[in-house]
Amino acid sequence: EVLDADGLFVLIGGAPLTGKIADWLRCDDRGYLMTGPDLLGTPDRGWWPLDRDPLFLESSQPGVFVAGDVRYGSMKRVASAVGEGAMAIALVHSYLETRDAESRRASTALD
C-alpha cells in the first residue's frame, strides 16, 4: 500500500513480538522479556536455573542477554536501547570470563 505523507514517525516498542519464544524466555503478562533482578521478583524462581543471581540484562536463559524495547522495565527510548546494548556486551564478557574460570576450576579439580 502506498500512502502520501509529509512526515513519518516510527514507534519502536509498541508491542513486543515475543510469542514464539515465551516458552523459552520468561516474559511478563504483556510479552516483555524479564531480565536480571526482575526474574527474581516473581514467586516462581524456577525460571532461573543457577545458584548465582542473573546478571542485570541476563534473561531466564543463562548467557542470553536482552537489551532495548523488548526488555521489561526498559525506558522505550532509542538512546536507552543503545546504552543497554553496550552494557549487554560488557555483561557477555563478564559471563564468559566467569564461565571460563569455572571450567578451569572444574578441570583442575579432576586432575
Confidence of residue 2 (pLDDT cuts 50, 70, 90): confident
Residue 47: exposure state from Cβ atoms within 10 A (0-12, 13-18, ≥19): middle
Q: Across all residues in the chain, what is the average pLDDT?
A: 87
Asked if 62 and 24 count as a contact pair (C-beta separation under 8 A), the reply is no
Distance of CA 15 to the CA centre of its chain: 16
Strand partners, 33: 27, 71
The pLDDT of residue 43 is above 80: no
Least confident of 29-43, 53-67, 85-99: 29-43
The share of the chain scoring above pLDDT 70, in percent, equals: 92
Its pTM stands at 0.79
